Amino acid sequence: MIRRTLAITLALLVLAAACGNSREFAGYVRTPAPSTKGITLPELGTSSERELVAANGKLLVVYFGYTNCPDICPTTMQDLTVALRRLDDATRIEVVMITVDPARDLEVLDGYVKSFIPTALALGSLDAAELAAAAEPFGVSYLVEGEGSGVEVAHTTSLYVVDDEGTLLLTWPFGIPSTEISADLNDLLNGRRS
């Protein structure tokens, strides 16, 4: 009887430990997961096009924003910078920032994004249809109105993670702490998908 009770207790402790180690993603998973395969944008500062798919064995973090953003864009980029510093292997993460305000950003976005993450790429296009096609699988919306100093921009403020097959794995709404972003990225790098 004592052996049976001990075996049951041990089994329950193992089960409780296994359950205690699982954590929920801080970001959310869309079902079915959208695909970014075949979607490209010009890489600013070069003559290259960049497909919105991670390189083999890597993850691609995508952000849609603009350089004149007073608060959300720089906060998001700084949070991502801190999250990347906490990773076990940050070399497996690629970052792109796509401008939703290309008329003002095409000449300056590359320097802006590299001031946060030196390896990040700046993408953008003055072709409205091309930019809309890139935003569509992410569910990104944006609006740029006005001219000169009276320009106003509104945009979706989430970060996105895409794998090397072009699958949108996770979406982080604005305000997710950098510790949670890095924990999610480590889980994804280790093969977790749900």
In the chain, where the domains are located: 24-189
pLDDT of amino acid 19: 44
Q: How confident is the model at residue 127 (pLDDT cuts 50, 70, 90)?
A: very high
The overall average pLDDT reported for the chain is 89
> Mean pLDDT throughout 49-54?
97
Q: Find residue 153's DSSP bridge partners.
A: 144
pLDDT of residue 69: 93
% the chain with pLDDT above 70: 89
Position 152 confidence tier, pLDDT thresholds 50, 70, 90: very high
Mean pLDDT of 83-107: 95
Q: Average pLDDT of 53-68?
A: 97
User: Picking from 77-86, 95-104, 146-155, which range would have the lowest pLDDT averaged per residue?
Assistant: 146-155
Of the candidates 121, 10, 104, 17, the one whose C-alpha atom is nearest the C-alpha of residue 62 is 121
Q: What is the pLDDT of residue 147?
A: 84
Q: What is the pLDDT of residue 135?
A: 97
Both structure tokens of 32: 């079915």
CA-CA-CA-CA dihedral for 170, 176, 181, 182, to nearest 10 = -170
Distance between CA atoms of 55 and 48, rounded to whole angstroms?
15
Overall CATH class of domain 24-189: alpha beta
In the block, residue with structure tokens 């869309």? 30
- Look at residues 177, 172, 133, 170 and name the one whose alpha carbon lies nearest to residue 156: 172
Q: What is the pLDDT confidence band of residue 149, given thresholds at 50, 70 and 90?
A: confident
Model confidence at 18, pLDDT cuts 50, 70, 90, reads very low
What pLDDT shows up at residue 186? 95
pLDDT reported for residue 5 = 42
Percent of the chain at pLDDT > 90 equals 81
Cβ pair 166, 37 in contact under 8 A: yes
| CA distances from residue 112 to 14, 38, 73 in whole angstroms, order as listed | 49, 26, 11
Q: At 17, is the pLDDT very low, low, confident or very high (cuts 50, 70, 90)?
A: very low
Q: Are 104 and 68 in contact (CB under 8 A)?
A: yes
The confidence score (pLDDT) of residue 16 equals 39
Q: How far apart are CA 172 and CA 159, in angstroms?
A: 5
Q: What is the pTM of this model?
A: 0.87
Q: Indicate whether 75 pLDDT > 60.
A: yes
Q: Do 96 and 102 contact (CB within 8 A), yes or no?
A: no
